[in-house]
Amino acid sequence: MTPAISVAGLTRGYRGHLALDRVTFDVERGSITGLLGRNGAGKTTLLRILAGQEFPSAGQVRVFGASPAENDQVLRRMVLIREDQVYPDFKVRHALAAASWCYPGWSSELASSLLADFGLPPDRPVKKLSRGMRSALGIVTGLAARAELTLFDEPYAGLDAVARQTFYDRLLADYAEHPRTILLSTHLIDEAAGLLERVIVMDRGRVVLAAAADDLRGIATTVSGPVLAVDDFTAGHEVWERRQIASQASVVMVGPLGEGDWARARSLRLDLEPLTLQQLVVHAAAQPAETTNAGSFAAAAMERTSA
């Protein structure tokens, strides 16, 4: 089966800077993928190109095996929910009605139950909505469309923690009943981590990491304790980061931990803490451009996969 998304060598240049620099990755059908990275990493540009709203400068983009640009057959199978969506001068229910005409899989029941969940008044003009309410409208549209490919770009700007949890819950529940391919760009990585089956990390227009979320858990560990013990424990491992205060050290060590490692750490009085997804992303995105760590990440992820 052709992948939902297949991107090769995708480049998008604007005057004086590269928003996307030879981006290459695939997204298989039926998965939830997190698109992570700092502001300006190129996430929105990438999603806009996937949805045919922007054009690439070079490279190849395939959605369901065909170019999405000006392709109604492909476009109607996907939806892009943007944080900065511009709406015409109409009411919430008009936006939903228009979406219901355009998406064959649209579920009115889901839309109305989501409206109730988010407390979104259908008769309110869109321009009178608060930032959070606007985001909620995007979420309702994106979920109720049940599009085969659902792209969310920072869908919950301005939404409170309770509403965000509602989004995660409803997304998972509906995804379980109606499997589809979801690509979610977000800054709230740890919050969404439980949702993500795969992650793609971008930095300065490049993909620095693409892996299954499970493969990344435990890929690196923070080892802290007395300096000598830490050095002893981490000897022979690749080290990403090292901090030392007086006789205490804290080191980020790459590589999976075995059964014996935990016991050994206990006897050396060391604290072991696996890096969270968010810490991994921060680490991946913090590397200088010329010494990108993608190789080391990929190698570590692969080692983990084969183990």
Q: Which residues bind other proteins (CB under 8 A)?
A: 48, 51-55, 70-72, 75-82, 85-90, 94-95, 97-99, 101-103, 147
C-beta of 82 vs 206, nearer to other proteins: 82
C-beta of 27 vs 277, nearer to other proteins: 27
Written as six digits, the tokens of 148 are 């085969």
C-beta of 124 vs 237, nearer to other proteins: 124
Half-sphere exposure of 29 (CA within 13 A, CB side): 15
Shortest distance (Å) from residue 134 CB to other proteins: 12
C-beta of 51 vs 200, nearer to other proteins: 51
Shortest distance (Å) from residue 90 CB to other proteins: 5
C-beta of 53 vs 113, nearer to other proteins: 53
Shortest distance (Å) from residue 307 CB to other proteins: 42
Shortest distance (Å) from residue 290 CB to other proteins: 31
C-beta of 39 vs 73, nearer to other proteins: 73
Shortest distance (Å) from residue 260 CB to other proteins: 54
Shortest distance (Å) from residue 94 CB to other proteins: 4
**Which amino acid is located at 228 in the chain?**
L
The residue among 57, 63, 64 whose CA lies nearest residue 42 is 57
C-beta of 41 vs 51, nearer to other proteins: 51
C-beta of 101 vs 116, nearer to other proteins: 101
Distance CA(115)–CA(122), nearest Å, equals 8
Shortest distance (Å) from residue 56 CB to other proteins: 11
Shortest distance (Å) from residue 36 CB to other proteins: 23
Half-sphere exposure of 43 (CA within 13 A, CB side): 29
Both ends of the chain: CA-CA distance in Å? 27
Distance CA(118)–CA(137), nearest Å, equals 9
